[in-house]
Each structure stands twice: as structure tokens, then as C-alpha cells.
């Protein structure tokens, strides 16, 4: 068995790839027909063509589908998706907290949209404007969202259960609709960036590998949610910081204003 | 692209994209993430992406997400090299020609593996693969050739043993 030159290997490769003209093809085939070593080379090369394994399918299409007017937020890993929802909801709540001398009603309005209080929510909640200081200008405008029937009597604690086992085993009672129908408009005139620390994620009693996975799930869930929120002209930049512990920073930039939400695990 | 068209794209392309990612990454969770990231980006840019070119957009996005993954993985393995060395593959896992090719595929450099899968699984031309991967046509062809040479070598060795 002789060594096949690279030039001939390439000719056979071109033949199999369909890169040769009819004339070249005939010439190469004629040569192969005369030489058993070239025939072996041809046969081996032909065996390197892979066939798609059609039995491998993506089983989570439901997570990808979009429904007009409805946020598809519960993904395969509902707890993580919920965590992202909580993070952003907390962000909104944090921004409205009385530290900015905002009217208590503002907080109450947001809370009224939690599942436990959803029945009491007014049909149309008016826009709530946060205090417009020289440092920041925030407005959160929640709209009334119908609560799905199966959650009408849901009385679970909101927003974050105290123990992590509950968190892991029992998805948080956060409604996608609460987020989906909430428009968050913030402006940072002085570049002030609120920072939200989601300590519950950092303290999850899971392995490092799971935390890494969780970090990306959180990131992706947040991306998904933001995509569904349909902010006009929003661009999203997400980075994973170097380091031993997973750490995600996410910033959202609009054309007119800059909104910075930082999610830290 | 409207919502209905987007959902059609999910039906039409998510399986192929997942296969592509899974074959490259060998990790179901990561492969799912790649699919999810790709479709998220498509949704965000649905007004800009031509419906006719969605498939190419998805694979391009997925490929770049995988490149990011490989970089992270490389950094991670640099930090914990002992893990890489302690993982051994049982020989019985790779039985028959298909198994041998599978094993050889795993050992290909990432870029060779990707272009080969795009070629064989998706039937993309060199030009299209170049658009997805950012390589020129000649590079694509050479990478595919080198990948086939490696696979051929493995198959040849198996024949020699048998």
C-alpha cells in the first residue's frame, strides 16, 4: 500500500465535494479506476461524510415560542426564570422605595400587583412617577394584568421566600404578566447607576458548575424578558466578569435614556 | 418578521441548530443555551433580519455564542488543568465505525468541527460557511479538508486493526 500524495488526496476530496468540472471529474475517476490505493483512499474519504442525526431534536420549543401580548417567561427552569423576574421587579420596587421621598402609594401600587393582592388591583392603574431628582428620573407604569385562573387563590409569600429550599423547589409566585405589562422608563441624567444585588442567587446551595449554569440561565431569562417587554430601541449588552465566582453584569441602553440594571450573583 | 413567522422559525430551525450546538459542545445544557440565545437575538432583531435569511442568522449567532463558550471553557480549563487530565473515555463507549467517527470528531479542533458540521449537517456552501464563521472560502475548504483527513486517518487505522 503506497502513500497517497496530498495532491491526490485533495483531488479526491474535490471529487467528493463536487468541486470538479465534468472533464476533471472524468480524468480523476479514470485514474482512480486504475489504482487500488487511490480506490482505497476514495473509499475512506467517502466515509468521512457525516449524516445528521435526525433523532436529536430540541425539546423545549415551547420556551422559544412567542405569543402576542403575553410574556412567555416560564422556561424549563422556572425557578431561575422567576429569579430574573424578581430581580427586575425588585429593581423597579427599589427605585420606588421611599428613600427617594416618593409617596407611599407608589410602593403600594406596585405591591398591589403581586399575586396575593392581584384581585384588589384596580382595572387601570395610573402612571406612577418617581421623584425626579437631579440625579435620577424614574417612572414605573404598571398596568392591570389579568391573573391566570390557576393563581387566583395563590397566597404564597412575595417576593422572596426566606429559605432557599422553598426557592428551589417551589417557583416564586411572580407573574410574567406583572413584568410584561410593566413599563419601566428610567433616565440617568448624571450617569447614576442603580445596583441591584440579588443575594439569594449568590447563596444558593448548589455546586459551582450549577452556579455557572444558573448565571447564564439568569442572563438568558432576563434577555428573554427584556425582549418581551419590547422597549423601543433597546440594546442589551451583557458580560460575564472574570473571576472564580460567576458574576453577571447587564446594562440596557436606549437611544434617549440609559437604564442600567446590574444583576449580580 | 411577525410573531407567527418567528414561531415558524422555531419549528423549522431549532432542531438543526440544537444538533449543531450539541455536536460541537457535547453538553446538552450548553447546547440549549446556545439555541435560546440565538432565538432571543433573532426576536430582538426580528425587524431587521430578512425572513429568507433567518437560518443563516441563527447559525451565525449560534456559532459566535459557541466561540464565546469555547473561550470561557479554555480559561476555565487553564485554571483547573487537572480536571482535563483526569477525564478518560472508556474504550467501550466507541464501538463500530459510527462511534469511531464520533470520537474522532470530538478530537478535531473546534473550528474544523464546526465547518465540517455546517457542511455535512446543513449542506452549506463554502461561501455560506464563510459568512457564518467569518472565514474566507479558501480557509473553509482547507479546514474541511483537514477535518476529513483526520477522520479518514482514524477510519483507516480502524480498518488496519480489523
3-state secondary structure of A96: helix
Give the residue, A96 or B74, on which the prediction is more confident: B74
Q: Are A144 and A123 in contact (CB under 8 A)?
A: yes
All cell numbers assigned to A235: 440594546
Note the pLDDT tens digit of each residue in A17-73.
999 999 999 999 999 999 999 999 999 999 888 888 888 889 888 888 877 643 333
pLDDT for B80 equals: 47
3-state secondary structure of A223: helix
pLDDT for B63 equals: 93
Give the residue, A150 or A200, on which the prediction is more confident: A150
Residues of chain B with CATH 1.10.10.10: 90-162
Sheet-wide strand order for A137-142:
A128-129, A137-142, A182-187
DSSP A68: T
Q: Are A263 and A249 in contact (CB under 8 A)?
A: yes
How far is it, in rounded angstroms, from Cα A71 to Cα A93?
A: 20
What's the CATH number for B90-162? Answer: 1.10.10.10
Kindly report the nearest CA distance between residue B43 and chain A, in angstroms: 7
Kindly report the nearest CA distance between residue A155 and chain B, in angstroms: 32
On whether any CB of chain A is under 8 Å from the CB of B148, the answer is yes
How far is it, in rounded angstroms, from Cα A76 to Cα B69?
A: 21
| Element housing A203 (H / E) | none
Q: Cα-atom radius of gyration of chain A, to the nearest Å?
A: 28
How far is it, in rounded angstroms, from Cα A192 to Cα A113?
A: 28
Q: Are B97 and B105 in contact (CB under 8 A)?
A: no
Task: Give burial (CB, 10 Å; 0-12/13-18/19+) of A92.
Answer: buried
* Residue positions counted in chain A: 265
CB contact under 8 A, B33 and A220: yes
Predicted confidence (pLDDT) at residue B116 exceeds the cutoff of 80 = yes
Kindly report the nearest CA distance between residue A40 and chain B, in angstroms: 9
pLDDT for A222 equals: 54
CB contact under 8 A, A64 and B39: yes
| Of the candidate ranges A133-142, B6-15, B28-37, the one whose mean pLDDT is the lowest | A133-142
pLDDT for A50 equals: 87
Q: Would you tell me how many other CB atoms lie within 10 Å of the CB of residue A149? A: 7
Residue of A nearest to B18 (CA): A58
Q: How far is CA A106 from the centre of its chain?
A: 29
What own/partner pairs with CB < 8 Å and gap ≥ 24 does B46-55 have?
B46/B1, B46/B6, B47/B1, B49/B1, B51/B1, B51/B5, B54/B1, B54/B9, B54/B13, B55/B12, B55/B13, B55/B16
Q: Checking DSSP bridges between strand A128-129 and strand A137-142, what pairing results, if any?
A: antiparallel
Question: What global pTM score does this model have?
Answer: 0.52
Q: How many CB pairs under 8 A join A and B?
A: 93
From chain B, the residues in CB contact with A252 under 8 A are none
| Of the candidate ranges A238-252, B50-64, B113-127, the one whose mean pLDDT is the lowest | A238-252
From chain B, the residues in CB contact with A10 under 8 A are 145
pLDDT for B51 equals: 85
Residues of chain B with CATH 1.10.1740: 1-87
Note the pLDDT tens digit of each residue in A67-115.
764 333 333 344 444 455 555 554 544 444 333 333 333 222 222 233 3
Phi then psi dihedrals of residue A213, to 5 deg = -60, -40
Q: Are B52 and A232 in contact (CB under 8 A)?
A: no
Interface test with B, best of A49, A54, A66 (most B CBs within 10 A): A66
Predicted confidence (pLDDT) at residue B68 exceeds the cutoff of 60 = yes
Interface test with B, best of A10, A58, A252 (most B CBs within 10 A): A58
All cell numbers assigned to A129: 412617577
Give the residue, A262 or A180, on which the prediction is more confident: A262
High-pLDDT (> 90) share of chain A, %: 9
CB contact under 8 A, A56 and B15: yes
Sorting pLDDT into bands at 50, 70 and 90, what band is A147? very low
pLDDT for A71 equals: 36
Interface test with A, best of B17, B34, B36 (most A CBs within 10 A): B36
CB contact under 8 A, A242 and B43: no
Kindly report the nearest CA distance between residue A220 and chain B, in angstroms: 7
Sheet-wide strand order for A248-253:
A235-240, A248-253, A258-260
CA angle A219, A224, A227 (to 5 degrees): 125
Give the residue, A109 or B46, on which the prediction is more confident: B46
Predicted confidence (pLDDT) at residue B157 exceeds the cutoff of 60 = yes
pLDDT for A226 equals: 53
CB contact under 8 A, A58 and B101: no
Note the pLDDT tens digit of each residue in B10-34.
999 999 999 999 988 888 888 988 9
Q: Out of B3, B121, B145, whose CB is closest to A13?
A: B145
Give the residue, A204 or B122, on which the prediction is more confident: B122
- Buried (b) or exposed (e) across A104-123, using 16+ Cβ within 10 A? eebeebbbbbbbbebeebee
From chain A, the residues in CB contact with B29 under 8 A are 213
Q: How far is CA A59 from the centre of its chain?
A: 17
Q: Kindly list the residues of chain A whose beta carbon comes within 8 Å of any beta carbon in chain B.
A: 9-10, 13, 17, 19, 41, 44-45, 47-53, 56-58, 60-61, 63-68, 75-76, 213, 216-217, 220, 223-224, 227, 234, 236, 240, 242, 244
B100-114 average pLDDT score: 87
Give the residue, A150 or B69, on which the prediction is more confident: B69
Predicted confidence (pLDDT) at residue A137 exceeds the cutoff of 60 = no
What's the CATH number for B1-87? Answer: 1.10.1740
pLDDT for A117 equals: 33
Note the pLDDT tens digit of each residue in A198-248.
223 334 444 555 545 555 555 555 555 555 544 444 444 444 444 333 333
- In DSSP notation, chain B reads --HHHHHHHHHHHHHHHHHHHHHHH--HHHHHHHHHHHHHHHHHTTTTS-GGGHHHHHHHHHHHHHHHHHHHHHHHHHH-HHHHHH----GGGS-HHHHHHHHHHHHS-HHHHHHHHHHHTT---HHHHHHHHT--HHHHHHHHHHHHHHHHHHHHHHHHH-
Predicted confidence (pLDDT) at residue A171 exceeds the cutoff of 70 = no
pLDDT for A214 equals: 52
How far is it, in rounded angstroms, from Cα A164 to Cα A118?
A: 25
Sorting pLDDT into bands at 50, 70 and 90, what band is A121? very low
From chain B, the residues in CB contact with A51 under 8 A are 120
A121-132 average pLDDT score: 31
Sorting pLDDT into bands at 50, 70 and 90, what band is B148? very high
CB contact under 8 A, A65 and B10: yes
Amino acid at each position: 500500500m503506497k502513500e497517497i500524495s496530498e495532491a491526490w488526496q485533495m483531488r479526491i476530496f474535490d471529487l467528493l465535494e463536487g468541486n470538479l468540472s465534468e472533464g476533471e471529474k472524468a480524468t480523476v475517476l479514470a485514474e482512480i479506476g486504475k489504482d487500488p490505493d487511490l480506490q482505497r483512499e476514495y473509499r475512506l474519504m467517502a466515509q468521512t461524510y457525516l449524516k445528521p442525526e435526525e433523532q436529536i431534536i430540541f425539546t423545549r420549543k415551547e420556551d422559544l415560542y412567542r405569543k402576542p401580548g403575553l410574556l412567555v417567561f416560564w422556561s424549563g427552569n422556572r425557578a431561575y426564570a422567576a429569579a430574573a423576574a424578581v430581580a427586575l421587579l425588585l429593581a423597579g420596587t427599589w427605585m420606588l422605595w421611599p428613600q427617594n421621598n416618593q409617596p407611599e402609594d407608589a410602593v403600594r401600587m406596585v405591591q398591589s400587583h403581586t399575586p396575593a393582592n392581584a384581585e384588589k388591583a384596580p382595572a387601570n392603574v395610573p402612571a406612577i412617577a418617581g421623584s425626579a431628582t437631579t440625579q435620577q428620573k424614574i417612572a414605573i407604569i404598571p398596568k392591570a394584568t389579568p391573573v391566570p385562573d390557576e393563581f387566583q387563590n395563590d397566597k404564597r409569600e412575595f417576593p422572596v421566600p426566606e429559605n432557599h429550599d422553598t426557592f428551589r423547589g417551589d417557583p416564586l409566585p411572580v407573574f410574567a404578566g406583572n413584568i410584561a405589562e410593566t413599563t419601566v422608563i428610567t433616565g440617568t441624567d448624571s450617569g447614576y447607576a442603580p445596583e441591584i444585588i440579588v443575594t439569594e442567587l449568590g447563596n444558593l446551595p448548589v455546586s459551582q458548575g450549577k452556579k455557572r449554569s444558573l448565571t447564564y440561565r439568569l442572563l438568558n431569562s432576563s434577555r428573554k424578558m427584556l425582549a418581551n417587554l419590547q422597549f423601543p430601541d433597546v440594546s442589551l449588552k451583557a458580560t460575564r466578569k472574570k473571576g472564580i465566582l460567576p458574576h453577571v453584569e447587564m446594562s440596557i441602553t436606549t437611544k434617549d435614556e440609559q437604564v442600567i440594571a446590574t444583576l449580580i450573583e | 418578521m411577525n410573531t407567527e413567522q418567528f414561531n415558524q422559525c422555531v419549528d423549522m430551525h431549532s432542531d438543526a441548530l440544537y444538533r449543531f450546538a450539541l455536536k460541537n459542545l457535547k453538553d446538552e445544557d450548553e447546547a440549549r443555551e446556545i439555541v435560546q440565545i440565538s432565538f432571543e437575538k433573532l426576536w430582538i432583531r426580528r425587524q431587521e433580519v430578512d425572513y429568507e435569511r433567518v437560518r443563516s442568522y441563527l447559525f451565525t449567532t449560534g456559532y459566535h455564542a459557541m466561540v464565546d463558550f469555547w473561550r470561557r471553557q479554555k480559561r476555565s480549563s487553564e485554571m483547573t488543568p487537572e480536571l482535563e487530565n483526569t477525564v478518560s473515555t472508556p474504550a467501550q463507549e466507541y464501538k463500530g465505525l459510527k462511534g469511531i467517527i464520533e470520537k474522532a470528531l470530538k478530537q478535531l479542533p473546534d473550528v474544523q468541527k464546526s465547518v465540517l458540521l455546517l457542511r455535512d449537517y446543513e449542506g452549506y456552501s463554502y461561501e455560506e460557511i464563510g459568512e457564518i464563521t467569518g472565514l474566507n472560502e479558501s480557509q473553509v475548504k482547507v479546514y474541511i479538508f483537514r477535518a476529513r483527513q483526520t477522520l479518514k486517518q482514524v477510519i483507516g487505522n480502524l480498518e488496519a486493526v480489523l
